């Protein structure tokens, strides 16, 4: 429980600002999450007529009290899902968020299995080598003892 | 033996993944349009107009371009935020009334725009011909439209005329294109 407590506190510390920005987003936050449909950059990097119009729309919706999700949904209804700089975490798009970490975990497992098998396959070769000639072993011990002194 | 099988399986999976990625790349390259209709027309060709189904700006159902086969179609891509579109709108309105009895249909495709702004534009400039909404701009690629406004005149057989004038059209240019389409 003592180990879990810092993790829970950290999660709470991160969740609070995320919840606040979801409920009361700023124009700057949304400008970096929304694409300008004709310039293919985010709104904060565009000054095209439609980008300016979209910024004005976002400001109006913020003033009206819309949440970040509500504003994004309204923009998606007008311009399609490509208006979001990163895909939504719903339906098929969820794969975009799930597959990379799953791929990394799978790759780590495969690498681990290969590394384990590789190390195991080397051990018998060392252990089961041909026995040394007693005379050679004696001489080797003598040489090593002399080397130590 | 198991290690060998495992290794072969991993190799086969890696080859399958690479083959899949190559297939996706090939599909993407073959479907990216290469400049679309505008490029073909600029090279003197008369391509078949790419089909589409788009909703009416006013929510009166969808319009399928192929359903207009047999008529001359004036296809105007525009948006409320496009300044030259304001100059053009009266020409299209005038042509839609003058040529309606001769089987000419003017269609305005409102792209990358708020529907509310587009309706306001239509009211302000007295547009009564059918307006469709393409918020995501999915029709721009197949037609090779990179700037607004842009107009294509499609003959009764569904082919695009090769006398396209990029950008804003004058009333005289629009008349000439429509007459040519009616003769072809």
Residues B26 and B82 in one domain: no
Contacts of B77 in chain A (CB under 8 A): none
Chain A residues with CB-CB distance to B3 below 8 A: 117, 121
- Indicate if B28 and B67 belong to the same structural domain: no
Range from A64-68, A90-94, B140-144, B145-149 carrying the lowest mean pLDDT:
A90-94
**CATH code of B83's domain:** 3.40.30.10
The per-residue pLDDT for A97 is: 74
| Domain tally, chain B | 2
Give the residue among B163, B130, B164, B138 at the shortest CA–CA distance from B149: B164
Confidence grade of residue B4 (pLDDT, cut at 50, 70, 90) = confident
Topology given in CATH for the domain delimited by A20-86: Helicase, Ruva Protein; domain 3 (1.10.8)
Taking residues A63-80, what's their average pLDDT?
A: 95
Same domain, B6 and B93: no
Residue range A2-57, pLDDT digits in tens: 666 666 666 666 666 666 777 789 999 999 999 999 998 999 999 999 999 999 99
In this prediction, residue A8 carries a pLDDT of 64
Regarding whether B137 and B81 lie in a shared domain, the answer is: yes
Name the strand (E) or helix (H) holding A120: helix A94-127
Interface test with B, best of A35, A80, A84, A116 (most B CBs within 10 A): A80
Domain assignment of residue B179, given as a range: 36-183
pLDDT per residue over B15-68, tens digit each?
998 898 888 888 766 665 567 888 888 888 899 999 999 999 999 899 999 999
Is B10 in the A-facing interface, judged by CB distances under 8 Å?
Answer: yes
Residue of A nearest to B111 (CA): A79
Instruction: Delimit the CATH 1.10.8.640 region(s) of chain A.
Output: 20-86
DSSP string, chain B: -HHHHHHHHHHHHHHHHHHHHHHHHHHHHHTS-TTHHHHHHHTT--PBPPP-EEEBTTSS-EEEGGGGTTSEEEEEEE-TT-HHHHHHHHHHHHHHHHSGGGTEEEEEEEESS-HHHHHHHHHHTT--S-EEEETT-TTHHHHT--SS-EEEEE-TTSBBPS----SPPPHHHHHHHHHHHHH-
Query: Does the structure show a pLDDT above 80 at B141?
Result: yes
pLDDT of residue A118: 85
Question: Is pLDDT at B102 greater than 80 in this prediction?
Answer: yes
Inform me whether the C-beta atom of residue A50 falls under 8 Å from chain B C-beta atoms: yes
Whether B72 has a pLDDT exceeding 80, the answer reads yes
- Asked if the C-beta of B1 comes within 8 angstroms of chain A's C-beta atoms, the answer is no
Is pLDDT above 80 for A86?
Answer: yes
């Amino acid at each position: 429980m003592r180990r879990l407590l810092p993790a829970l506190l950290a999660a709470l510390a991160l969740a609070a600002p995320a919840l606040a920005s979801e409920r009361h987003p700023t124009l700057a936050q949304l400008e970096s999450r929304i694409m300008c449909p004709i310039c293919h950059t985010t709104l904060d990097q565009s000054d095209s007529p439609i980008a300016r119009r979209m910024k004005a729309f976002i400001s109006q919706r913020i003033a009206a009290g819309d949440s970040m999700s509500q504003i994004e949904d309204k923009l998606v209804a007008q311009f399609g899902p490509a208006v979001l700089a990163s895909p939504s975490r719903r339906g098929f798009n969820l794969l975009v968020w799930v597959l990379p970490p799953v791929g990394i975990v799978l790759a780590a497992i495969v690498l681990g299995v290969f590394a384990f098998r590789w190390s195991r396959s080397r051990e018998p070769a060392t252990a089961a080598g041909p026995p040394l000639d007693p005379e050679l072993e004696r001489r080797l011990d003598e040489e090593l003892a002399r080397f130590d002194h | 033996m198991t290690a060998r099988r495992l290794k072969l399986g991993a190799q086969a999976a890696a080859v399958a993944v690479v083959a899949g990625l190559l297939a996706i790349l090939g599909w993407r390259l073959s479907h990216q349009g290469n400049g679309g209709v505008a490029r073909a027309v600029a090279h003197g060709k008369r391509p078949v107009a790419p089909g589409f189904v788009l909703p009416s700006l006013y929510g009166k159902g969808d319009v399928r371009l192929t359903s207009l086969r047999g008529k001359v179609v004036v296809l105007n891509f525009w948006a409320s935020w496009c300044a030259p579109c304001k100059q053009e709108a009266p020409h299209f309105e005038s042509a839609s009334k003058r040529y309606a009895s001769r089987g000419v249909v003017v269609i305005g495709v409102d792209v990358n725009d708020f529907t509310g702004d587009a309706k306001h534009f239509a009211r302000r400039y007295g547009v009564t011909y059918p307006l469709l909404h393409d918020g995501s701009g999915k029709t721009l690629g197949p037609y090779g439209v990179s700037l607004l406004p842009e107009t294509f005149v499609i003959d009764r057989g569904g082919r695009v005329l090769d006398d396209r004038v990029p950008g804003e059209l004058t009333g005289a240019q629009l008349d000439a294109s429509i007459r040519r389409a009616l003769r072809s």
